[in-house]
Amino acid sequence: MSRYIAAIDLGTAKVVSIVGEVTPSGVKIIGYHQAPSQGIMRGDVVNIQKVIDSLNPTLEYVNEQINTMPDTTPRKIKDVYVGISGHNLKCIENTIHRNRDNSFNKQLISEDEVQTMIEEMFNTPVASTEQILHVIPQSYNVDEQIGCKEIVGMDGDSIDGKYKIFVGKTSSATHTRSVLNRANLSIKKMILSPIASAEAVLTEDEKELGVLMIDIGAGTSDVIIYYDHIIRHIAIIPFGGNAISMDIRQTCSVSFKNAELLKRQQGSCLSEQAPQNKHIGIKDKMGNITQEIPCKLLAATIEARVCEIIATALHELEKSGYKDKVKNIVITGGSSSLNHIQSLAKEISKMNVRLAMPGNQNILNTSLNDIYKPAAATAVGLILLGAADSKNEPQESELEFTNIWGEKTEDDPANAASGNNTNNSANGKKKKQEKKKGFKFSLSDIFKSTASDNEA
């Protein structure tokens, strides 16, 4: 029995609408479309109407894709997961101590106790202009048992929890919500974009052994650090591919459009490999060469900014406290396709470096070809996390036979017999909303299921 997940990725350079079908064999991407974005700067929505104007064509395209599938009735996307980024994201640490009083005598530690402690972390004081986006447990101490990952089922008189708390600007979430509401979409969850990208491109071995992922987007470069299957650090570097193009524009005195073309078609991250006396011609509309750019100058300009991105990511690794444990780097995102970026990253970091795009074992190879590119990592990851999150709820197809369109499906035998496809859709949507949980729960569940799978 299939379920459907829809997601929206609002990026600085592009907006994406995507739909996945969750089957027993994995996730199949059945709808995908992207369009150039306007109104977004460094991952933050700054002009709501321009973002809506960018988003609507992708929704129309994906809705058309879905409705042309065999044996489907007319449907329209309503409930979505959405990525949230923004260069103002910060990571803080906090701890909690809990004495288990007499009421807990002879009772083992329960999931409810653990979740209550996480919920308390959401009350950590932050500035009035900020809000807590994610709380991720790092470790627990139960009496003399130190550094436990999983404590449900243990016994003890006291619990100490250590957490990483990720805080963003309230305005960023508010503006994102406004865009989707005005596009007649309902938000199921907001998920940090680097978490989504990591879900699409990282392997379970990398998450266990330690990995620094760098997602180089247009406006920002997202950084996430995993160790022992737990997110240890997240940071947003406030520059990415657009900064490289701006540097080229200034250094080479060309338009931003030509700077983008030079970067993608002729650029290199290693100036030492660029030919010394070779030039690249810039042509006008008539085909006449109006300007010549030295290959050496172009490569040196790109190399300088990419070095800064990688060095900043390595600084975040040092800040996280996991520098000595993490030996692998994974680079993804639209700018990861720059020539020689893997070699440059290896040279700077002295670590193993892998370039990645979506394609893990949970994505069926019958998915749309459009997703197999680094720039699609966040969108695909949102679908995968949405699929994992939906496992923690009673399956809608088993209860109300509703889906992301808020309608009855043909999988409902009673519904098929009566021919009534719409009468109970409002009740289905209501019950579906009552079953929703905050993403703080699903993250915890994801990490626990990963750990148990490995133990098995």
> What CATH number is associated with residue 300?
3.30.420.40
What pLDDT was estimated at residue 338? Answer: 95
20 vs 408, residue with greater confidence: 20
Torsion of CA 150, 93, 225, 455, to 10 degrees: 0
Domain total in the chain: 3
What pLDDT was estimated at residue 400? Answer: 30
Task: Inform me whether the pLDDT recorded for 411 exceeds 50.
Answer: no
DSSP 130: E
What pLDDT was estimated at residue 362? Answer: 81
Please tell me the least confidently modeled range out of 112-116, 277-281, 320-324, 424-428. 424-428
**Given 121, 151, 170, which residue is the final one in a domain?**
170
SS3 state at 337: helix
What pLDDT was estimated at residue 119? Answer: 95
- My answer on whether 215 and 192 are in the same domain is no
What pLDDT was estimated at residue 206? Answer: 96
C-alpha–C-alpha distance, residues 55 and 119, integer Å: 33
Task: Inform me whether the pLDDT recorded for 247 exceeds 50.
Answer: yes
- My answer on whether 80 and 117 are in the same domain is no
Q: What percent of the chain has pLDDT over 70?
A: 83
What pLDDT was estimated at residue 2? Answer: 61
What pLDDT was estimated at residue 395? Answer: 46
What pLDDT was estimated at residue 103? Answer: 52
- My answer on whether 325 and 418 are in the same domain is no
Strand partners, 283: 289
Is the separation of the CB atoms in 202 and 212 below 8 Å?
Answer: no
Q: What is the CATH number of the domain that holds 145?
A: 3.30.1490.110
- My answer on whether 294 and 328 are in the same domain is yes
**Given 149, 170, 191, which residue is the final one in a domain?**
170
Closest CA to 18 of 3, 1, 6, 36: 6
- My answer on whether 348 and 400 are in the same domain is no
Q: What percent of the chain has pLDDT over 90?
A: 68
C-alpha–C-alpha distance, residues 200 and 289, integer Å: 43
Helix orientation angle between 48-67 and 170-182, rounded to the nearest 10 degrees: 50
Is the separation of the CB atoms in 368 and 379 below 8 Å?
Answer: no
Task: Inform me whether the pLDDT recorded for 412 exceeds 60.
Answer: no
Strand partners, 211: 226
- Residue pLDDT, tens place only, 259-285: 999 999 999 999 999 988 899 988 888
Task: Inform me whether the pLDDT recorded for 42 exceeds 60.
Answer: yes
- My answer on whether 219 and 329 are in the same domain is yes
- My answer on whether 342 and 369 are in the same domain is no
What pLDDT was estimated at residue 376? Answer: 95
Is the separation of the CB atoms in 126 and 81 below 8 Å?
Answer: no
- My answer on whether 124 and 244 are in the same domain is no
**Given 170, 194, 218, which residue is the final one in a domain?**
170
Task: Inform me whether the pLDDT recorded for 215 exceeds 70.
Answer: yes
Task: Inform me whether the pLDDT recorded for 93 exceeds 90.
Answer: yes
- CA 398 to each of CA 388, 408, 411: distance values in angstroms, whole numbers, following the listed order: 17, 11, 9
What residue numbers bound the domain in which 330 lies? 205-355
- My answer on whether 217 and 332 are in the same domain is yes
Split at pLDDT 50, 70, 90, the class of 455 is very low
Strand partners, 145: 142
DSSP 98: E
389 vs 48, residue with greater confidence: 48
- My answer on whether 53 and 181 are in the same domain is yes
What pLDDT was estimated at residue 283? Answer: 83
C-alpha–C-alpha distance, residues 219 and 222, integer Å: 10
What pLDDT was estimated at residue 107? Answer: 86
What pLDDT was estimated at residue 71? Answer: 61
- My answer on whether 154 and 178 are in the same domain is no
Split at pLDDT 50, 70, 90, the class of 456 is very low
What pLDDT was estimated at residue 426? Answer: 41
Split at pLDDT 50, 70, 90, the class of 74 is low
What's the count of helices (H) and strands (E) in the chain, helices before strands?
Answer: 14, 18
Mean of the per-residue pLDDT values for the chain?
A: 85
- My answer on whether 114 and 77 are in the same domain is no
C-alpha–C-alpha distance, residues 27 and 17, integer Å: 16
418 vs 358, residue with greater confidence: 358
